[in-house]
Amino acid sequence: MLNCWYKYCLNFFDVTMKKLLFLIGLTGLLFFPMSALALEEDEGQVKIGAGETLNYNLLKFAQTIEVDGAVLGDVVVAGAKVTINGSVSGDVIAAASSLKINGEVAGNVRAAAVQIEISGKVGKNVNLFANNVVIGEQAEIGGDLTCWADNIKISGKVEGDLDGGSKNVTLENSIGGNVSLKIDPAGDLKLTDKTVIGGDLNYQAIKQIEIPKDSQIKGKVNYLTLEKVSNKYLTAGYWFKKVISYFGLLLIAIILISLWPNVLEKINQIITTKPWPTLAWGVIYLLAIPLAIVVLLLSIIGIPLAMIILGIYLLVLYLSKIVLALWLGRKILLTLKSSTWTIAGGLLVVVFLTSLPQIGGIINLIIICLVFGGLGQTFKESFKT
C-alpha cells in the first residue's frame, strides 16, 4: 500500500496554494476554541440522525461514525468505519479503515483510509490516501483531485486537475483539467470510450498505454518512461546503514532514559490509554507546526523562535522511534526489568518494521504521529498542573 505515503505528504508541503490551504485548515482546527467543538473520545458509535442539524464543528473519535444529518461546519473524524450521508457545509478531514461519502460536502475532503468511496458531491478539492479509491458514477468533485492509492477507479466527474500515483488507475468519466499520474511498474493506466480529459495527459509508466479511439484528450499526451529499479532490500549497503542507525538510536535512547524517564513514561501512558485521539492530535501537530514556523519566519522578529521550534521539530522526528520502542519493548518483553534491554528489543522491532517494503513508510509515519500526539498531550497536562 504504501510506499507512496511520503510522496503524498510532500505534495502537501509544496509551495502551492492548494496544498497550503490544507495546512491552514488544520492549523485553524488546532487553535479554534474548544468550546465550539463537540469532542468525545473513545466512543463506540456516533450517529447524527437525518433530522439533526449541528451548528458547530464536529470532532469525533469512535469505532463507527455515521452522519445522516446536516453539519454547519467542519467534520474531523477518526474511526474504523465512517459514513457521511448528510450534508457538510465545511471541510471533511477523516482517518478511517472505511470511508464513504454519499452526501454533499461544500468544502474540501482530506482523508486517509484503507477503502474510500465517494458517491456524493464535493464542492472543492479532494486529497486522498488509501489502498482502494472509488469515485462513483454519481460523484462530482468541484475542484482538484489528488490521490495516492494502490487502486483508483474514477467513474464520476472531476472539474479540476487529477494528480497522484497508483498501481492501477481507471478513468471512466471527464476530468476538466490536466491529468498527472505516476503508475507503478507492476500496474496499468486504463482509459475508456467515456474518458474525457479537458487538459493534458501527463503520465509516467513502464510502457505507453493504448488510448481508445472514442476517448477525448483535448490537450497533449506526455509520456515519461519509468525505469525499473533494483531491489535495495537485497543489498548489503542498505542493511549496513540500518545496523549503524540502530546502534546510534540505541545509544541516544539510553541517554534519554537516564535524563528524562518521567517524560518518556508519561508519553507511553498516554499512547496506551488513548491511542486514537493521540494519533489524531499527532497528525495535526505534525502538519500545523511547519506552518507556524513559516508564519514566524515571515514576521522577521519571530525568526529566532522559528529556528528553535524547527530544531525541536526535527529532533522529535528523529527520536520518535525511540519513544515508541520503549512502549513496544515493554509490551513484548514483559519479563525483563532492565530498561536498557527493553528499549534494545523494542527498538529492534521498530527498525525492522519501518524497513519493510511497501508498508514501512506508513508504519514510520504512524509512529511519528503517535509520538507527536503523546508529547503534545504531555505538555498540555503539564501546563494544567
Could you give the CA distance from residue 218 to residue 212 in angstroms, rounded to a whole number? 14
Highest mean pLDDT among 2-6, 129-133, 169-173, 363-367: 169-173
Residue closest to 161 by CA, chosen among 136, 180, 182, 189: 180
pLDDT of 40 higher than 50 = no
pLDDT of residue 42: 44
pLDDT of residue 62: 81
Q: What residues form DSSP beta bridges with 38?
A: 58
Domain ranges of the chain: 2-225, 232-384
Output DSSP code: residue 12: H
Please compute Rg for the chain using Cα positions: 22
238: number of Cβ within 10 Å: 12
12 confidence band (pLDDT: 50, 70, 90): very low
- How many angstroms from the chain centroid is the CA of residue 207? 30
The SS3 call for residue 132 is strand
Could you give the CA distance from residue 336 to residue 254 in angstroms, rounded to a whole number? 16
DSSP for 150-215, please give it: EEEEE-SEESS-EEEEEEEEEE-SEESS-EEEEEEEEEEEEE-TT-EESS-EEEEESSPPPPPTT-
DSSP for 21-72, please give it: HHHHHHHHHHHS-GGGEEEEEEEEEEEE-TT-EESSEEEEEEEEEEE-SEES
364 confidence band (pLDDT: 50, 70, 90): confident
Q: Starting at the edge strand that comes first in sequence, how are the strands of the sheet with 87-88 ordered? A: 53-54, 70-71, 87-88, 104-105, 121-122, 140-141, 157-158, 174-175, 196-197, 216-217
Cβ atoms of 106 and 86 within 8 Å: the answer is: no
pLDDT of residue 110: 93
Least confident of 82-96, 237-251, 354-368, 369-383: 237-251
229 confidence band (pLDDT: 50, 70, 90): low
148: number of Cβ within 10 Å: 26
Q: What residues form DSSP beta bridges with 92?
A: 75, 109
pLDDT of 17 higher than 50 = no
Size of the chain in residues: 385
Return phi, psi of residue 201, to 5°: -110, 110
For 303-359, write each residue's pLDDT tens digit. 889 899 999 898 888 888 888 888 887 777 655 556 677 888 888 888 888 888 778
For 121-147, write each residue's pLDDT tens digit. 999 999 998 889 999 999 999 999 999
Measure the CA angle with vertex 155, ends 153 and 161; round to 5°. 80
pLDDT of residue 336: 55
Residues in contact with 274: Cβ distance below 8 Å, sequence separation at least 6, in sequence order: 41, 42, 377
183: number of Cβ within 10 Å: 20
- The cell for 210 is 493504448
Element (H, E) at 127: strand 126-135
Per the prediction, the chain carries an average pLDDT of: 82
Residue closest to 85 by CA, chosen among 63, 113, 99, 66: 66
For 261-308, write each residue's pLDDT tens digit. 888 888 888 888 888 888 888 888 888 898 888 888 888 788 889 899
pLDDT of 20 higher than 70 = no
For 53-82, write each residue's pLDDT tens digit. 999 999 887 889 999 999 999 998 888 899
pLDDT of 28 higher than 60 = no
Could you give the CA distance from residue 371 to residue 321 in angstroms, rounded to a whole number? 8
pLDDT of residue 6: 38
For 89-124, write each residue's pLDDT tens digit. 999 998 888 999 999 999 999 988 889 999 999 999
239 confidence band (pLDDT: 50, 70, 90): confident
pLDDT of 238 higher than 80 = no
- How many angstroms from the chain centroid is the CA of residue 98? 14
Could you give the CA distance from residue 315 to residue 87 in angstroms, rounded to a whole number? 41
Least confident of 10-24, 258-272, 371-385: 10-24
Could you give the CA distance from residue 119 to residue 112 in angstroms, rounded to a whole number? 17
High-pLDDT (> 90) share of the chain, % = 35
Q: What burial letters (b/e) apply to 286-317, b meaning 16+ CB within 10 Å?
A: bbbbbbbbeebeeeeeeeeebeebeeebeebe
